[in-house]
A and B are shown apart, each in its own frame.
Chain A
């Protein structure tokens, strides 16, 4: 393996700050923690200009983006990502035993929108060098066209009929079909969040986003209109598992060089699309442990290849039988190989969250909420430990 295809940096977003690894003399070495003491739910490097980004999940002072333009030496907080005046949403409540998400209240309650979590930062294509996207709880997609200095809420998605219509203008004109994500409960609410944003490398006006809990949504006109893309999805907890909405993607990604191949680790299994999310096919094989989990990573070049870090569903959410493993498919999910070499096989209770697995060339890296981080340089077949005493890890991204 040549150094030219190896990433140079790994960014961990953790409960206690941002940890950056540099690859020096064939070893991955961590720097002292940045944003010390502040929860960082996502950290990534913009490949276009090398800017580093971290999403700070301040417990007290509100969510903030933090940006470094000097490779991580210094960081500046950005406070401009805010919901505009008049942005409202229909309040959801934790499901009760008699809750039927297809029959929500006839008298919706509204709340003014406040950014509670900036869950994902995604970079625009090379032909839009200053464009960034951010997905938030409670479910707003924000766009910046000036490198993150200013942000604007995408109103067609916010005002989508699946969320009750244009609540800037008045009362709901349709039923809200977006449900909450348990990831919002820390903030005392039960509201949806956007955790996955995919920009088509061929066409910046073509994007997919994924919402917990609503599903996959597509635009082909630069965000002016949005359409559900959940055909073939199955939600085992719904009266109608094949409902158009109310799906729970945990993470959705695509193959960068074959973007019509999309992968989805869903609450109810692993799903695969080879037609640009027009249809999905469940490709879980529970007998080999591949079904429940949070993250999924797609190969950069082969749309039929992907990796998952399976976990025991869903009331337990930890490694299966105390052993941590990674599964890879190279045939569109028809078969899965499992790899355990270098990973703990006893007394492991790790769970890997949705943004905490990444692939870059032949390298993969993941981190768990138990503070363990593992790296593979051979496409997931063998693993080395990067450390066992990190804070709970929320995100892992190569840079």
Chain B
């Protein structure tokens, strides 16, 4: 099953995810985020807007590849892949 790693900034809002090894069923990035939302209700409200698109200043990659579809998050994760959720570098 793919594993998920994320910026520690999100632990501030979802402390239940801290220090956890998060594994979820393989699928699209959208499906993986929904699976995390099951563990941490409200999670998708922080990384997606109300249309399900990735927020402007959030990046997701599958292994070393930044996801291409930021609107529907249809990129698929292989079974042995790792999904990374970052904040973009912005602001000051």
- A188 and B56 contacting across the interface, CB-CB below 8 Å: yes
Residues of A within 8 A of B11 (CB): none
Residues of A within 8 A of B87 (CB): 59-61
Which residues, 55 to 73 on A, are CB-close (under 8 Å) to B?
58-62, 64
A167 to chain B, nearest CB (A): 15
Chain B residues with CB under 8 Å of chain A are 9-10, 13, 42, 45-47, 49-51, 55-58, 87-88, 90-91
Residues of B within 8 A of A59 (CB): 57, 87, 90-91
- B49 and A62 contacting across the interface, CB-CB below 8 Å: yes
Please provide the 6 A-B residue pairs with the shortest distance between their CB atoms, ordered closest to farther: A79-B45, A82-B50, A61-B46, A60-B87, A60-B57, A114-B49
Contact residues of A: prevailing secondary structure: loop
B6 to chain A, nearest CB (A): 12
* A-B CB pair tally, cutoff 8 Å: 41
Question: A226 on the interface (CB 8 Å rule)?
Answer: no
Inter-chain CA distance A140–B90, complex, in Å, is 27
- A62 and B46 contacting across the interface, CB-CB below 8 Å: yes
- Encode contact with B along A184-209: 1 for CB under 8 Å, 0 otherwise: 00011000000000000000000000
- A114 and B57 contacting across the interface, CB-CB below 8 Å: no
Query: Which residue from chain A places its CB closest to the CB of B41 in the assembled complex?
Result: A79
Query: Which residue from chain B places its CB closest to the CB of A82 in the assembled complex?
Result: B50
Inter-chain CA distance A64–B45, complex, in Å, is 9
Question: A115 on the interface (CB 8 Å rule)?
Answer: yes
Residues of B within 8 A of A85 (CB): 50-51
Given contacts A77-B13, A188-B56, contact A61 B47 (CB under 8 A): yes
- B55 and A61 contacting across the interface, CB-CB below 8 Å: yes
Inter-chain CA distance A58–B57, complex, in Å, is 10
Residues of B within 8 A of A62 (CB): 45-46, 49, 55
A391 to chain B, nearest CB (A): 12
Residues of B within 8 A of A83 (CB): 50
Query: Which residue from chain A places its CB closest to the CB of B86 in the assembled complex?
Result: A60
Query: Which residue from chain B places its CB closest to the CB of A187 in the assembled complex?
Result: B56
B12 to chain A, nearest CB (A): 9
Inter-chain CA distance A115–B13, complex, in Å, is 19
Query: Which residue from chain A places its CB closest to the CB of B59 in the assembled complex?
Result: A60
Interface CB pairs A-B, < 8 A, 11 = A60-B58, A60-B87, A60-B88, A60-B90, A61-B10, A62-B46, A79-B46, A83-B50, A85-B50, A114-B49, A114-B51
Of the listed residues A60, A62, A114, A187, the one surrounded by the most CB atoms of chain B closer than 10 A to its CB is: A60
7 new A-B contacts at CB < 8 Å, known A60-B55, A61-B58, A114-B49: A61-B13, A62-B46, A62-B55, A85-B50, A85-B51, A112-B51, A114-B50
Inter-chain CA distance A62–B45, complex, in Å, is 8
- B91 and A79 contacting across the interface, CB-CB below 8 Å: no
